[in-house]
Amino acid sequence: MLLRSRADLRDDGFTDREMQARVAAGVLVRVRRGHYVPAESWRMLWPEGRHLLAGLAVHRDATTPPVFSHVSAAVIHGFPLYRHRPSRVHVGVPNPAHAGSVQDVLRHRVDLGDDDVVEVGGLRVTSGIRTAFDVSRTLRRDAAHSIADASLRRHAVTRNRQSVELAAQWREDLERRLVDMRGAPGTRRASEVIAFADGRAQLPGESVSRLRLHRLGFREIDLQVPVAAPGGGEYFVDFGLDEIHAFGEFDGVGKYVDPALRGDRSIEDAVLDEKRREDWVRGTTGRRLLRWGDEHIVTVDAFAERLAAFGVPLGAGRRLDRSRL
C-alpha cells in the first residue's frame, strides 16, 4: 500500500528515529503526522494523487468518517485540478465552530441533503453535482470551469455527444442551489461558470482553451466536431471555429507519452497517426487546423500570441473581452 502509517512502519521494524531520518534524507515524504509515502512514488504523482493521499490520511485519523467537500471531493470523484495545489484537505461539517479547522484540514459549514453525500471508494464525499457547485463559488475561474465541465461530462455526455435533456437537468439542479444561496459570496461567479459549462470538453486544457477563446471574442465555438473518417468511422476535432473557418486542437502531451492514452502504439506511431488524421481532416473539409498546448493557455495574452502565429490576430470583430468571464 502506498500510504503507510507510523504503525505500519513500526511493524516493519522501523523506529521513530529511523522514520525521521528517512524523511530528512528525502527517502520518505510525510503526508501528515503519522502517515508516510516513499519519496520516489510521491514524485511520480500528479497533484490530484498527492491530495488524494492527504485526504486518505485524514480519513484514517478521524474518529467519525468525514464528508470530503470542495476540491478534496473533486479529487475523489476523479475531477481535474487545473493549476491548483490545495494546501489543506476540505471537509464539510454542520457547524465548523464546534470542530475548528486545523493546519492541514479546512472545515466548511455546509447544509447537506441526503442526495448531497455519496460514497466513493469507501470515502464519504459530496456528490458530483454538489461538488461542482461548491468549487464554482470558491475556485478561480479556469480551475472551476475544468471541474464543472468534468461534472457535466459525467452526467450528460456519451461518446462525445452531450444530451440536451441531461445537461438541462444538471444546470437546473445547480441553478436551484444558487437560488437557495442568493447573496452568498461567490454565487455570481458560480452562475457564470454553470451557464458556460460544456461537458464535451474532455480535458482541463480543453476547458481552459474554450474559456480563453471566449475571452478573445470568439462566440461560435463548437466542441468535439465530428468529421467523416476513412472506412466509415468518425474523427472528432476538439474545436470548431466557424468564425474563421478553422478547427482547433488542444495538444496535451499525454496523448503521445501516456501509455493509457496511446494504447499499444509507440510514441512515433502515435505522432504519425495524428499527422495522418490531421491531413485527412484538412484535406476533406478545406479547413486549416490550429494547434496549441498547455504552455499557450496559461494566460489570455499567451493564447492570443499563439493564435497570431497562425494569422489570427485580435482585430476588427475580435477583441479581448474584459468581462468577468
Domains and CATH numbers, the chain: 1-44 (no CATH), 46-196 (no CATH), 204-309 (3.40.960.10)
Lowest mean pLDDT among 20-29, 87-96, 132-141: 87-96
**Amino acid residing at 70:** H
- pTM value is 0.90
| pLDDT score of 255 more than 70 | no
Positive or negative, the Cα torsion across 207, 167, 164, 277? positive
Separation CA 74–CA 123 (nearest Å) = 12
Lowest mean pLDDT among 51-60, 259-268, 312-321: 312-321
Q: Which residues contact 305 (CB under 8 A, 6 or more apart)?
A: 296
pLDDT of residue 201: 97
- Res. 266 pLDDT band, cuts 50 70 90: confident
* Neighbouring C-beta atoms of residue 254, cutoff 10 Å: 14
* Interval 125-153 mean pLDDT: 97
* Interval 271-298 mean pLDDT: 92
- Cα(first)–Cα(last) distance of the chain, in Å? 43
**Under DSSP, is residue 314 helix (H, G, I), strand (E, B) or coil?**
coil
Residue 70, CA distances (Å) to 51, 93, 109, 135, 185 in order: 12, 12, 12, 5, 15
The vertex-207 CA angle with 201 and 213, nearest 5°, equals: 115
| pLDDT score of 319 more than 70 | no
Phi, then psi, of 261 in degrees rounded to 5: -95, -35
The helix-helix angle for 204-215 and 141-156 (nearest 10°) equals: 120
